[in-house]
Structure 1
Amino acid sequence: MHAVTVGRDGRQYNVVIVPAKDSPINRGNYSIRGGTNALTVWSLDRGTQDRLTYPLLRVGDQFQAITWQDALTLMGLLIKGIRDRDGNDDNIAVKCSDHGGSGQGFEDNYAAGKLFFAALSVKHIAIHNRPAYNSEVWGSRERGVHELNYTYEDARLADTIVLWGANSYETATVFYVEHMLPNIQGATVAEKQQAFDPGEPAEPGYLIVIDPRKTSSYTVAAQVAPDRVMLLRPNLGTDYILANAIARAVWEKGYYDMAYLQARTDMTLFEEYKAKSLKLSVPYDEFMAQAERITGVSRAEIEKAADWIAKPKAGRFKRRTLTIYEKGIIWNMKNYDQVAAIVQLAVLTHNIGRPGTGCGRQGGHQEGYVRPRPHPRLHLPGRPPRQRGQVPH
């Protein structure tokens, strides 16, 4: 938790992370990761002073240090040689770092962008944990919903929180302990009364955990509010089938918000959604039997989840549901379909854009980077070449 470092003045300094008690986010708490961040600072008596100061070239089964100039020359000649041989970039692929933050993240990413975008103009680039230079969640963005669309306050105000492939107790500890748990324990009812519409019921929240494993995010909550917590354990890779099954139950029960859909969606595409995702041409009993068989989740559990997510409250007030997904969905099979189905469920029930609602990533670290110029438009995979004189979009 505590570290000793040396400043530029040659003096030793003690470093420790102390959470701010007046912060509305961490409320004086911290996760084990945040609390031990001091151990990452440079120190004389630990391995933090070990640095790679030169590029390493593999020669046989050994790594040999070479100069920066030799490394850049070798990289440039290799890429040029492949282009000259093949006449294209199809056999050139780059995997580079991404995201900003501490440790000179912005500087590192600017340099990588300048090298690969401006100097080498590489066509095929994959960043961070992704197969291309793109968002992890195009299934959300192509539905008009950016993946970061809620605040921690929404977790305090939600009638229901859905953790879908997100084990927040272990990976977003402060978020879970300081905001989600107080909600389902009833400690945020007064905040809800202030934020909700006049006459709208404000009660302790519910929690739905969707994960093939019985995670600590479920077991911890089940200890403090067992009657307000539900665990759905779908078969691997079937989350989009489960999301569509919950959405079909929502449709059959009339929990959707048609006025919102007509005002905010393309109704032609919505008809496709009804036909392809909700499969309204398939009888409800048959549809649910198929969903049970594929997902391993019972019809009773699916319909109960639909109630917790979208059943109107007393006085016909709309429920407020916050759905948070993470690596269990993002790094799942059928990434695009999984995210798209979850977002469409949130839109169907108007759980976007109201206090206590939202549908997005949990996150876990800052995401941001800076490049000297965008990924070259002429080199985007699948984009037709621009003709001379045309204005780029």
Structure 2
Amino acid sequence: MADDTAKSTDDLPHSPGPAGGWGSMKGIASIYGETWASPGALDGLRRLNKPKGVMCVSCAWPKPANYSAFEFCENGAKATLWELTKDRCTPDFFSADGHTVTELRDWSDHELEKSGRLTHPMKYDAASDRYVPIDWGDAFAQIGATLRDLPRDDVVFYASGHAGLEASYLYALLARAYGNNNLPQSSNMCHETTSVGLTKVIGSPVGTVTFDDLAETDCYFYFGQNPGTNSPRFLHNLKDLKDRGGKIVTFNPVIEQGLVSFVDPQNPLAMLTGKETIISDQYHQLKAGGDVAAILGLCKVVVEADDAAQATETHEVIDHDFIKQHTTGFDEFIACCRDAKWADIEQASGLTEAALRDAAQVYIDADKTIGVYGMGFTQHTHGALNIAMMVNLLLLKGNIGRPGTGCCPVRGHSNVQGQRTVGIAEKAHLVPLDRLKELFDFNPPSKDGMHIVDAVQGLIEGRVRGFVSLGGNLVRAVPDQKRMEEGWASQDITVMVSTKLNRSHLYPGKSAYILPCLGRSEMDEQATGNQAVTSEDSFSMINGSIGHRPPASPHLKSELEIVAGIAKATLDPNPKLKWDEWTADYSLVRDLIEATYPDDFRDFNKRMFQPGGFWRGNPAAERIWKTDSGKAVITTPPQLDSLGFKDKPGRYRLLTMRSNDQFNTTIYGYSDRFRGIEGTRDVVLMNPDDIAEAGLSDGDSVRLVTDYDGDDIERHLGGLKLVAYKLPRGTIAGYYPECNVLVPITHHDQISKTPASKSIPVRIEAA
């Protein structure tokens, strides 16, 4: 296994033990014990990710048609058990003998969610600093009255990526009927770089692979994603590749155990013997932001090998027929590869020429390669350039649009991709407005709305006056958290559709409402019976989901019913907007989705429970390039890193990461067993040579200070324990969302505005 890290880090604790195995089972058991999950929770796990079962509320990893007996992972089990807890957060929690909102600001994220499932709609009472119960009808009426009085451009409709396609479609319809396209979504903070970057170079905003491709590929080139924590079911596909002799080459500043070794918890023999599958054949710890240079080095070796093959008239390495027929920009990029200096590549990437040559040889030898990436790739100031460079590498050998090849971004939230598909988008050109006009007899707004960065800046500056949030914990999830808290609380109205308490509830607007919703595992009884919902996974597969557990409270409403209730109270009457009929029968909403997007959702209701889902299709997977040129674009990089700042003495590149005991802003506990961090999240990981050079010691108490050239605002995070860790020099790591206070809202990808949370310029100071 290639290793470009100094020897002084070899004996440091990192990623102890394999992914999966008994560690995974113990992690699930710990959450089961802490949540006191209902007896039916185990039955809920049995139904996860199976036809006419429940689609997992955790990540967006696809559901196989040939499913196993236990088609869930550690994170999926934790998310399900967390939702099916016996704990309840009733109005008594905020009673005179209970808690004030100000008091709760001192609670941790974990403690807030541990208060349990919300049971009643509530409204903030400023006089007592508490939430008090309110009737649903009164809540809708008051919300509608306030929204009607506000300027349309001053209200934002945010979605977290959880709600199904049906509720999401109606939510987008509500916003447009209200009068704006202010529909930012959680993808703005993670894979918007994919949506914009991939569209620019291959004409598709999403990945091109399916399970069939994973079953046929020879090789994965893996960038900036952690399957052991964020998509553990992917580990089975990685293991399958290794079992049939394939290769995996990984580039990541942090050693992630899911990419080192794995014990299959569904294999009794492996569990009994502890037999591990070694995942990565090569693991390259490049600098944070060093991907552009690393991939340029890989491409340089491919070009050299092809030049040698051409000179000796042997088999070509580059697929020149494909390049000529399907791409543009090849000649300029090849010249760049030939001219690139190894010293510059090594300096920018933090990897050696020898290591990159070893990696490139694997790519050259493989017939079919898939490029995999996550937020470690997208969340940089030039994250779209990272994606373009990976596409360059794939295109050189025709590794997009044929079986066993393609581009595989790994999405986070369960329906984050699908919400965009059915209209939750701030860019008007992404939505068939003419069809909406025809179907619903109103003129949808054609002006682009607010991206989440625009919305946060609007909140900070006092321009956003109302916020409706369909799920999520936005105050905690976005950059510039301290400034965001102030802006959030200054609004005329905040409306949160939630299952549990979170930090966003603790900074209420002048009027503030918490509207508790059903979980996906719970029965959604409407006039026509228990309703099913649908979602779209990372492979553009559409799956149906139906809950079987009793609701946590009889006072809960579904996300769709809440959206319809707000809409009826807010919008002028329109006979084409049949909110009550749609609430009674969700299949009618699916008919509307099909009518609006006929190419993607043909026979929607008939196919929704097809095992493994039905494929929405992807032109780039068929080598149809919907770019300006009609061809896939090969990009010549204007720089050798994805940073928006220069290195200087005392400045470090901070990357934020998640523990295996969390999902997004939901913190299940304080055991990050893969990194050996127990009982705390207040840490910063750092190379021991960097620690010594800074005059610090392992275990010191330190604070991080943002070292940003874009403004003069002071941002800092104190109370952190310094932990010596196996990281590249100059790269340090801390946890998300705690480190969000350090990220300037203007520090984002240049074309997609995705916050650059994987390369934040900071200084370290002794506390």
State whether TM-score is above 0.5.
yes
- Per the alignment, residue 397 of structure 2 pairs with 349
What TM-score, normalized to structure 1?
0.71
Distance 1:295 1:136, change over 3 A: same
Is 2:83 aligned against 1:31?
no
Q: Which moved more, 1:67-76 or 1:345-354?
A: 67-76
Decide which of 141, 163, 166 is 1:69's aligned counterpart.
141
1:3 aligns with 2:38: yes
**Cα pair distance change 1:357/1:132, threshold 3 Å:** closer
Q: Does residue 1:220 correspond to 2:261, yes or no?
A: yes
Alignment equivalent of 2:46, drawn from 5, 15, 18:
18
Per the normalisation by structure 2, the TM-score is: 0.38
| Cα 1:351/1:96, change in 2 over 3 Å | same
Q: Secondary structure at the match of 2:38?
A: strand
Q: 1:260, 1:250 → 2: CA distance?
A: 16
Instruction: Please say if 1:380 is aligned against 2:448.
Output: yes
Once the two structures are superposed, the pairs formed by residues 110-259 of structure 1 within 5 Å of their partners are 110-122=169-181, 124-130=182-188, 136-144=194-202, 146=204, 147-176=206-235, 178-186=236-244, 204-220=245-261, 224=276, 229-254=281-306, 255-259=317-321
What code does the residue aligned with 1:240 have?
V
Q: How far apart are 1:128 and its partner, in Å?
A: 1.4
Aligned pair partner of 1:79 in 140, 147, 151: 151
Residue 206 of structure 1, CA deviation: 0.9
Aligned-partner Cα distance in 2 for 1:112–1:58? 29
What's 2:382 paired with? 334
| 8 Å contact from structure 1 (residues 161, 206) kept in 2 | yes
Offset at 1:300? 0.9
Cα deviations by residue, 1:77-103 (Å, 9 ceiling, x for unpaired): 2325xxxxxxxx5xx4735005465xx
Is the Cα–Cα contact under 8 Å of residues 75 and 229 in structure 2 kept in the other structure?
A: no
Instruction: Summarize the Cα distance change of 1:341–1:93 in structure 2 as closer, same or farther, 3 Å threshold.
Output: farther
Distance 1:61-1:236 versus aligned 2 partners, 3 A rule = farther
Deviation at 1:295, TM superposition (A): 0.9
Where in structure 2 are there 5+ consecutive unaligned residues? 1-31, 51-62, 90-115, 264-274, 307-316, 425-430, 434-443, 451-767
Query: What is the deviation of 1:154?
Result: 2.8
Name the SS for the 2:389 alignment partner.
helix
Closer, same or farther in 2 for the Cα pair 1:173/1:133, shift >3 Å? Answer: closer
Q: Could you list the per-position Cα deviations for residues 165-208 of structure 1 after superposition, in whole angstroms to 9, with x for gaps in the alignment? A: 111132222221x221132133xxxxxxxxxxxxxxxxx01111
Distance 1:60 1:289, change over 3 A: farther
Change (3 A) 1:144 1:180: same
CA distance 1:23–1:155, shift in 2 (3 Å): closer
Secondary structure of the corresponding residue to residue 184 of structure 2:
strand
Query: For each residue in 1:307-356, what CA deviation from the matched residue of structure 2 results, as whole angstroms up to 9, or x when unmatched?
Result: 111236xxxxxx21111111211223322111111112111121112222
Q: Which amino acid aligns with 1:215?
A: E
Deviations 1:142-177 (A, max 9, x none): 22253321123433332211221111132222221x
AA in 2 matched with 1:68: F
- Is contact 1:167-1:217 (8 Å) kept? yes
Query: Distance between the aligned counterparts of 1:225 and 1:67, measured in 2?
Result: 54
The CA distance in 1 between the partners of 2:350 and 2:251, in whole Å, is 12
Q: Which amino acid counterpart does residue 339 of structure 1 have in structure 2?
A: I
1:206, 1:229 within 8 Å by CA — same for their partners in 2? yes
Q: 1:243 to 1:133 in 2, by over 3 A?
A: closer
CA contact (8 A) 2:370 2:406 kept: yes
SS in structure 2 of the partner of residue 173 of structure 1: coil
Return the alpha-carbon distance in structure 2 between the equivalents of residues 257 and 68 of structure 1: 60
Q: CA RMSD in A?
A: 3.7
Amino acid at match of 2:227: S
Task: Read off the aligned partner of 2:448 and give its amino acid letter.
Answer: L
For residue 165 of structure 2, what is the aligned residue in structure 1? 106
Residues 221, 229 of structure 1: 8 Å contact kept: no
> What corresponds to 1:305 in structure 2?
359
Shift in Å at residue 112 of structure 1?
Answer: 2.8
- Aligned partners of 1:31 and 1:173 also within 8 Å: yes
Aligned equivalent of 2:118: 50
Shift of 1:221: 5.9
Task: Give SS of 1:17's match.
Answer: helix
Matched, 1:274 2:334: yes
- Kept in 1, the 8 Å contact 2:38–2:86? The answer is no
- Does the CA-based 8 Å contact 1:257-1:348 persist in structure 2? yes
| Residue identity opposite 1:183 in structure 2 | L
Aligned to 2:587: none
Give the aligned residue type for 1:250.
Answer: V
Cα distance in 2 between the residues matched to 1:235 and 1:331:
14
More helix by share: 1
**Alpha-carbon displacement from aligned partner over 1:94-139 (angstroms, at most 9, x marks no partner):** 35005465xxx334423431332221224x4421141699674321
Structure 1 contact 160–321 (Cα < 8 Å) conserved? yes
Alignment size in residue pairs: 329
Paired residue type of 1:253: A
The structure with the largest strand share of the pair is 2
> Using the alignment, how far apart are the partners of 1:342 and 1:100 within structure 2?
29
Q: Distance in 2 between matches of 1:226 and 1:44?
A: 39
Q: 1:56 to 1:110 in 2, by over 3 A?
A: farther
For 1:43 and 1:381, locate their aligned partners in 2 and report how far apart those are by CA, in whole Å.
38
Partner of 1:361: 409
Q: Which whole-Å CA distance do the structure 1 matches of 2:362 and 2:234 have between them? A: 21
Identify the residue that residue 391 of structure 1 maps to in structure 2: none
Amino acid in structure 2 at the alignment position of 1:305: A
Distance 1:14 1:97 in 2: 29
Q: Residue 245 of structure 1 contacts residue 291 of structure 1 at CA under 8 Å; is this kept in 2?
A: yes
Which 5+ residue runs of structure 1 have no aligned equivalent?
A: 6-12, 81-88, 187-203, 313-318, 383-393
What is the rounded CA distance, in whole Å, between the counterparts of 2:191 and 2:257 in structure 1?
A: 33
On the 8 A contact 1:95/1:125 being kept in 2, the answer is yes
CA shift for structure 1 position 31: 0.4
Distance 1:309 1:132 in 2: 27
> Conserved in 2, the CA contact under 8 Å of 1:96 and 1:125?
yes
| 1:18 match: secondary structure | helix
Output the CA distance in 1 between the equivalents of 2:376 and 2:357.
22
For the 8 Å contact 1:206–1:228, the answer to whether it is kept is yes
Is the Cα contact below 8 Å between 1:26 and 1:175 reproduced in 2? no
Letter in 2 for 1:245: G
Q: Which has the higher contact order (CA 8 A, sep 6+)?
A: 2
Q: Does 1:96 align with 2:158?
A: yes
Distance 1:15 1:225, change over 3 A: closer
Q: Cα distance 1:54–1:144, how it changes in 2: closer, same or farther (>3 A)?
A: same
Partners of 1:326 and 1:362 within 8 A in 2: yes
Look up the SS of the partner of 2:156 in the other structure: strand
